[in-house]
């Protein structure tokens, strides 16, 4: 972002999801973004075949968080050989739910006038971190105590050179909210909350020690299978 | 008073986590 603007959520660079050789010349690369609460799949469609492509449509298989296209894939003009177009597809989270392995896996079908093609991709679950995920302090303390220790997962985030305030503000851009900060023995402890689109709350403690580039992240969540994906988001957000 | 209590509770939590 420009000077004085919040950095916003991290958007990974596009990667190739469907190589042309597996889709009769159609190449699809893409990424996911959350902007002001709107989830989008951002796609580049390239025609590497010898003939024009038309009649595009997209469908998702059921998935862990109910991600579904909120409208049709808008490819309004035929795609000529060697042409690339950029398409943004808004997504909802009210589609059918089925737990996927890995949890953030999405199976996609794309059709055009030539055939139907299938691919899988993975989204950062920060896509699902909602804007009102700042938990009341009192509720945080009670919930932290209430979630059993067995549901706590710990991770080390290496090579991070931000101080705790910079980390906190960067994380907030991705809807990871700092509820409290305490300094004990030269360590800053950030207590943070996250709420997913399906109502699951995640509580974390981020430990930042002056002069030590390794952070310790503790994640407490009743649905403990989301913890490692939350950790992946911290890595992505803090290092980009 | 509630706010003071919460401030104190977070301090206790942080201390308990660094010196369990």
- At A181, give phi and psi (nearest 5°): -130, 135
Report the alpha-carbon distance of residue A46 to residue A2 in Å, rounded.
Answer: 31
A182 contacts B10? CB cut-off 8 A = yes
A184 contacts B10? CB cut-off 8 A = no
The pLDDT of residue A210 is 86
Residue-wise pLDDT for A73-118, tens only, equals 999 999 999 999 999 999 999 999 999 999 999 999 999 999 999 9
Report the alpha-carbon distance of residue A34 to residue A65 in Å, rounded.
Answer: 15
In this prediction the ipTM stands at 0.92
Residue-wise pLDDT for A142-155, tens only, equals 999 999 999 999 99
Distance of CA B2 to the CA centre of its chain: 13
In chain A, residues with a C-beta closer than 8 Å to the C-beta of B14 are 182-184, 189, 191
Residues 6+ apart with CB under 8 A from B11: A182
Q: Which residues between 1 and 20 in chain B have a beta carbon less than 8 angstroms from any beta carbon of chain A?
A: 2, 6, 9-11, 13-15, 17-18
Q: Degrees (nearest 5) of the Cα angle A228, A196, A225?
A: 30
**Residue of B6, B17, B18 with shortest CB distance to A137:** B6
Nearest residue in chain B measured CA to CA from A183: B14
In chain B, residues with a C-beta closer than 8 Å to the C-beta of A205 are 17
Report the alpha-carbon distance of residue A228 to residue A232 in Å, rounded.
Answer: 6
List beta partners, residue A111. A57, A116
In chain B, residues with a C-beta closer than 8 Å to the C-beta of A185 are 18
């Amino acid at each position: 972002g420009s000077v004085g603007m919040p950095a916003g959520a991290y958007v990974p660079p596009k990667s190739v999801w469907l190589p042309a050789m597996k889709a009769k010349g159609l190449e699809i690369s893409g990424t996911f973004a959350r902007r002001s609460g709107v989830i989008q799949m951002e796609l580049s469609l390239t025609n590497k075949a010898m003939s024009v492509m038309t009649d595009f449509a997209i469908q998702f298989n059921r998935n862990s968080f109910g991600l579904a296209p909120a409208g049709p894939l808008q490819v309004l003009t035929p795609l000529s050989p060697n042409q690339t177009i950029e398409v943004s597809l808004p997504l909802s989270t009210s589609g059918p739910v089925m737990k996927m392995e890995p949890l953030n896996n999405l199976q996609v079908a794309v059709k055009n006038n030539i055939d139907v093609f299938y691919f899988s991709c993975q989204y950062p679950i920060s896509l699902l971190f909602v804007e009102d995920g700042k938990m009341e302090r009192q509720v945080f303390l009670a919930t932290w105590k209430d979630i059993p220790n067995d549901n706590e997962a710990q991770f080390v985030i290496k090579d991070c050179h931000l101080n705790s305030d910079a980390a906190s503000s960067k994380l907030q851009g991705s809807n990871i909210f700092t509820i409290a900060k305490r300094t004990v023995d030269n360590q800053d402890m950030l207590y943070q909350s996250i709420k997913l689109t399906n109502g699951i709350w995640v509580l974390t403690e981020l430990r930042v020690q002056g002069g030590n580039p390794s952070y310790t992240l503790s994640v407490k969540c009743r649905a403990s299978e989301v913890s490692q994906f939350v950790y992946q988001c911290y890595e992505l957000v803090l290092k980009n | 008073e509630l706010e003071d209590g919460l401030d104190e509770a977070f301090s206790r939590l942080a201390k308990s986590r660094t010196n369990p």
